[in-house]
Structure 1
Amino acid sequence: MMPAIRRISQVPYQWDVISAPLSQVANQEKFMPRDFISENGFAITQTCRDYLSPLIQGEDFLRLRTAYPKSPN
């Protein structure tokens, strides 16, 4: 078993951590759903944007101390 993230809901975005059988996730290829790709195959759809948005929102600014990342402690 290994930890895996499971999306519970889109709005509000919620997730939890579950156990996943290693045999079902290791060395497995998962394709992007067809409805995430535009008809011409060169862009993503709004459905894809809605799915990805919570994963890429916001920005975490790097705190520096004399050009080195500052420890959070």
Structure 2
Amino acid sequence: MTDPPSISRSVPDMLAASGEARRNEAYGYGVAIAYLQASGEPVDTTYEPWRDLINDIRALRLDSYDIAERLRSWREP
């Protein structure tokens, strides 16, 4: 019997997959924008801040609180 893969190893491995990870990121980007706008929280929808957020998540530099704070900082008046 083999040991189950550890979370710390399997998440970065999944994110390293080129094509599927990119599609998932693009889908997550679209869903997040749609959800925030439908919730009455319009945010900056330019791709660059989202790309940086995706890269920081992929590098495991952010926790859920950091992600939420960054999204709140992008609110449009």
TM-score between the two structures when normalised by the length of structure 1: 0.23
Q: Which has the higher contact order (CA 8 A, sep 6+)?
A: 2
Q: Which has the higher strand share?
A: 1
TM-score between the two structures when normalised by the length of structure 2: 0.23
Q: Which has the higher helix share?
A: 2
The structure whose Rg is larger is: 1
